[in-house]
Structure 1
Amino acid sequence: MFYTVSSVTLILIGSAIYAESFTKKCDVLVKLDSGPVCGREESANKNTKYFSFQGIPYAKPPVGARRFSELEPLEPWSEPFYAYEEGPACPSRDITYGSITVKRKGMSENCIYANVFVPASATLNSDELCEDNSLPILVNIHGGGFQTGSGNRDLHGPELLMLKDVIVVNFNYRLAIFGYLSLASHKIPGNNGLRDMVTLLKWVQRNAKVFGGDPKRVTILGESAGAASVHLLMLSRASKGLFNKAIIMSGTAIPNFYSSSPIYAKYIADMFLGELGINSTELTSDEIHQTLTELPLDDIMRANDVVQYKAGLTSFVPVVEKEGHDYTRIIDDDPITLISQGVGKDIPLLMGFNKDEGEYFKWIITIYNVVDRYKNNPAVILSPRLAYELPPQEASAKGIFVGKRYFDGEPTVDGFVKSVTDIYFQYPMIKLAQWRIFLNSAPTYFYEFSYESDFSITKRANWLSYKGTAHVEDLTYVFHTTTFLGSQVSVPPKTRDDQMRDWMSTLFSNYVRCNNPTCNKRDDPRWPPINEEELMFQVIKEPNVNKMSSLPKQLEDMVEFHDGVDDQVRMQSEILKEQKKKHSMYQ
């Protein structure tokens, strides 16, 4: 009887498996280097079809003993992998995106997945593609302060770009403790998140033609910490040849909302280990590594949360790595030094910021009680690079000096909001634009996004109320925020916001396809690249209206003020300006 029951059970189970696989419809099949993958046919609107491949693993999951290791290649498979759903997000604590984020499959350390969206016009599974019949690829590196976020379509829906014949790749990478803890050791050197990005870009190169894409036309885009990541990859030898253009939105590798100093990384690591009860002076680095790979995820995340609250949103962050560790080295010098040496200057760049970036962080400034923190330590108003790398007395004095610009007597939340706009975002973006002029860099297109939405997704997500255009707002007009807008795009545009989405996605897709935002000649007067005559940027304030502007006096004064605070950036500017002057004299 036992064998009879077992046989029947096996037959039923086998039949169920067969029935499930038989009933699963494969709308489209692609043959990756790791194995066949089935995708779905979807629609951006009633007239535009595209293919989605969601939750594709691009490397082995970094779990167990591999928790802090460089990603390893996948084991190949032979049966179709059904890429119908996004994978789980990487472990994090999200206090940034509010109700935008929807993690349908939760969070897991097994989170190394890519989501690929391909216009139906693409020629799939061909090795014979040339530029004429292949599509450009946009790889999107999500933001979230290096602590949170995902490659999910909740914030990064591809629908707008599916209308523009651009392949979109979203993906997850390790975050917070798992992505950026650095013990300056051979097993935990830091920058795993950036290392994951390099692994993904190599995966794109190997599989681009399978999706009908051109591996020679890969643009990487990032917003906020994603933008800083993009810029850091522009400075890294490890990513050389993996992309040919870049887009950075509200972020640079200039460490102003983070610190890349190994001293800061050690401070954060010691705080984290202390929360776990690990004495770093009594254990070897290998013993600490062993302990951390064996700890339950919940214990690690509890300690991560404490560090994030004590140190701020950008606690575990990219770091300058020491030589001689076990993995691919991503950052080999101070980013400011690398930029000033001209590293990355030959990569074309589209860059911009929002007019009122800091408004997005007003509620975070409030719950973090930053006003009282300033009273106890004035250095908190400085960029983390200055606050943690300067001698304490000098940092405090500079903090008081900066406070006088933003506070009329007593410190206020509104004063901090304005300081965040200036110090974390607009100042470093403007300095980078100036430096690229001094370095005779590849074409650089600069913008300020100041469009005030009729329905602001960022306000809705965090129940905010403000006047202006805050952090993340420009991103919501390039990608489709499916959480609030659903999966369909209005064609033709019905509302003013629809018109702006159409225009922003057109400008960005033009850049991806044609190397400039207008898809016209390089010196198109509607939006020319920056040049040495005058730093100009595109003011994106209304749909379909081109308006070039020089830096207004308000921004000029702000830059001059912060040049007086940030000695490293000011001195580097002076050196580059002098070099540019000498070079011009000999031409």
Structure 2
Amino acid sequence: MSSYNLVFLVLSLLNVSLCQEDTVTATVAEGQLRGKVAKTVNGVTYYSFQGIPYAKPPTGKLRFKNPEPVDPWEGIRDALEEGYICPQYGMVMNANNDISGEEDCLFVNVYTLSLESNSENPNATMVWIHGGAYQTGSGNIESARPDFLLEQGVNVVTLNYRLSALGFLSTGDDVIPGNFGLKDQVLALKWVQTNIAQFGGSPSKITIFGQSAGGASIHYQVISPLAKGLFQGAIAESGSALGSTVYETPAKARQRTIRLCQALDLDSDNSTEILEYLQTMFTEDIIQTVTYSLTAEQSIRESVHFRPTSEENSSGDQQFITDEPINLLAAGIFNDVPFISGTVTDEGMVMLMEIQGDSSKLETFNNNMAYMIPENLNVDIDSDEGKELGEKIRSFYVNGRNLTQDTHARDELPHTMFEYGTVKHVQMQAKLAKSPVYQYYFTFKGSSSTVKHFQDNDYSAVGHGEELKYLFYDPRQNYSTGSPEQITSDRIVKLWTNFAKTGNPTPDDDAVLENVTWSPATDEEHNYLEIGSDLSLKQDLQPSRMEFWEEEYETYDSWPQ
């Protein structure tokens, strides 16, 4: 054997040895998994298991059906890399509109500090549900790196769920009841309940958390009977089932489905024909046609197209919800667990940027400010009362002026339209729940603003999703030790992980948290924690704006009183 071949053989054997040392195995209910050893940004060792299927691929006859548990497998299944993301059309705020993803996308990713099964002191687990207007996103690590959370001693699980029409299309009856993306989340939570002990976690210490549509999903899981007992805490960031764009009546959901079918050359209102036809369509055709099936009004007003709905016209025991979310909350029908919910200062900035960047859309809004009316307010925007309310909004928020393309005019958009649902559900649950309900308001403006990044100028704001870069590790951010950004990151991570471990974000005095006590909201005291340069407990978030919208919802009989 030549010296070259000998060296090659030795290096090959060494590489095999290293690969074996860098992998670990775990046994779950469906079979064995091979994961890998990794380190956080600060050098803490953890174990990564990615691309674990929790459901059968929702393809063919399983398209537009409730998810089914995955079948067991033989041998050791590699869990070394993430699975496919769910089909989606482009990315939020990205010029690339290519369709990506595969329907075989129902995977979870597990990150854990321990593989000691049935430990006497198991870790709490945080299950992340991503946002993206129910149209984009995934549980992939690029958008939710768990380093900071793991370093506080919790497990982290992320997941994919069906999106857009594939996840939320409905005929408003038994044939296509809808809510498949939310039911995917339920099945993933059942998988976590069954298997988390094999990853050093406790099935009785599970907290679900998410942002935007993920935050709304969290709130939906809180009010769904299907999720009862699957988690012991919930954190909804900038999302609520009472949000103006995340619910649709069965009748409107059916109308949306019929319009999609017409755009796909099926002129039928028969639910069975619709199901059979759509099950034969190419994935790309369905996703791509969604935007072409919108009415002119929808194309201007909507950020979420296919969305959750009530299954009141369906039968069986797999109905996700059977009434409007507001009615369920008013009746006290929700899973009573410790709950955190909140928003950021400039929630509406994403919408404002879109309007300001499109002169045609800007003109449309200025000609009829009724386009600013929340979708769940029962007002026809083309009616006299709609136009009257539009002018009332213009007067209240911008002193009767037109919107402009001035990128510094952040107060031109009624951000509270996005906040109102959160404040409303916090107040309703605080009144009826036995478990604590905590509210926060994230106001910290760091040196690198998400809004500033997308607008490519010097203007900064605390925009939608701003808190995520402090909660998850982002290699593009380089916070120096002791900087305000690093301190803010330490604080929000500590608050969230304290809550996951104990159900209380401030269980003890803690210098990192400035020894603050975060008091829950009650029926009498509308407490909230402002997370800014400092932490401070306050009361009654934006009272004048909340009163404005409360009056309008009462006037148009959109909320039960």
Return closer, same or farther for 1:463/1:362 CA change in 2, 3 Å cut-off: farther
TM-score (norm 2): 0.87
Amino acid at match of 2:554: D
| Aligned residue runs from structure 1 range 31-110, under 5 A | 31-96=27-92, 98=94, 106-110=100-104
State the shift of 1:96 in Å: 2.2
Match in the other structure for 1:579: none
Cα deviation, 1:28-58, whole Å, max 9, x if unaligned, reads 1100111111111111135311111111111
Match in the other structure for 1:551: 540
Please say which of residues 400-409 and 136-145 is displaced more in the overlay. Answer: 400-409
Q: Is 1:566 the counterpart of 2:553 in the alignment? A: yes
Q: Is 1:129 the counterpart of 2:115 in the alignment? A: no
CA separation in 2, counterparts of 1:267 and 1:66? 23
Return closer, same or farther for 1:23/1:467 CA change in 2, 3 Å cut-off: closer
Q: Is 1:240 the counterpart of 2:231 in the alignment? A: no
CA separation in 2, counterparts of 1:572 and 1:296? 40
Return closer, same or farther for 1:327/1:317 CA change in 2, 3 Å cut-off: farther
Q: Is 1:401 the counterpart of 2:395 in the alignment? A: no
Cα deviation, 1:195-217, whole Å, max 9, x if unaligned, reads 10111011111101011111011
CA contact (8 A) 2:130 2:139 kept: yes
Match in the other structure for 1:528: 519
State the shift of 1:274 in Å: 2.2
CA contact (8 A) 2:527 2:540 kept: yes
Q: How many residues align?
A: 535
RMSD: 3.1
Question: Secondary structure of the equivalent of 2:376?
Answer: helix
State the shift of 1:341 in Å: 1.2
CA separation in 2, counterparts of 1:451 and 1:461? 18
Match in the other structure for 1:431: 424
Which residue among 363, 366, 376 is the counterpart of 1:385? Answer: 376
Please say which of residues 402-411 and 145-154 is displaced more in the overlay. Answer: 402-411
Match in the other structure for 1:206: 194
Amino acid at match of 1:445: Y
CA separation in 2, counterparts of 1:464 and 1:260? 37
Match in the other structure for 2:11: none
Return closer, same or farther for 1:66/1:417 CA change in 2, 3 Å cut-off: farther
CA separation in 1, counterparts of 2:105 and 2:500? 28
Structure 2 gaps, min length 5: 1-14
CA separation in 2, counterparts of 1:379 and 1:263? 23
Match in the other structure for 1:319: 309
CA contact (8 A) 1:187 1:326 kept: no
Return closer, same or farther for 1:97/1:512 CA change in 2, 3 Å cut-off: farther
CA contact (8 A) 2:132 2:213 kept: yes
Please say which of residues 404-413 and 384-393 is displaced more in the overlay. Answer: 384-393
CA contact (8 A) 1:159 1:480 kept: yes
Return closer, same or farther for 1:420/1:72 CA change in 2, 3 Å cut-off: farther
Return closer, same or farther for 1:46/1:462 CA change in 2, 3 Å cut-off: same
Question: Secondary structure of the equivalent of 1:154?
Answer: coil
Amino acid at match of 1:146: Y
Match in the other structure for 2:10: none
Match in the other structure for 1:478: 471
TM-score (norm 1): 0.84
CA contact (8 A) 1:97 1:462 kept: no
CA contact (8 A) 1:526 1:546 kept: no
Question: Secondary structure of the equivalent of 2:187?
Answer: helix
Question: Secondary structure of the equivalent of 1:352?
Answer: strand
Q: Between Structure 1 and Structure 2, which shows a larger proportion of helix residues?
A: 1
CA contact (8 A) 2:241 2:247 kept: no
Question: Secondary structure of the equivalent of 2:388?
Answer: helix
State the shift of 1:412 in Å: 0.9
Between the aligned residues of both structures, percent identity stands at: 30
CA contact (8 A) 1:340 1:572 kept: no
CA separation in 2, counterparts of 1:174 and 1:571? 29
Which residue among 348, 352, 356 is the counterpart of 2:342? Answer: 352
CA contact (8 A) 2:438 2:520 kept: yes
Match in the other structure for 1:16: none
Match in the other structure for 1:8: none
CA contact (8 A) 1:220 1:243 kept: yes
| Aligned residue runs from structure 1 range 63-462, under 5 A | 63-96=59-92, 98=94, 106-119=100-113, 122-124=114-116, 126=117, 128-130=118-120, 133-281=121-269, 284-307=270-293, 310=299, 312-325=302-315, 328-344=318-334, 346-366=336-356, 369-375=360-366, 377-386=368-377, 392-412=383-403, 418-424=412-418, 426-457=419-450, 459-460=452-453
CA contact (8 A) 1:123 1:134 kept: no
CA contact (8 A) 2:381 2:387 kept: no
CA contact (8 A) 1:359 1:417 kept: no
The structure with higher relative contact order (CA 8 Å, sep 6+) is 1
State the shift of 1:388 in Å: 6.6
Amino acid at match of 2:319: R
Question: Secondary structure of the equivalent of 1:477?
Answer: helix
Please say which of residues 407-416 and 335-344 is displaced more in the overlay. Answer: 407-416
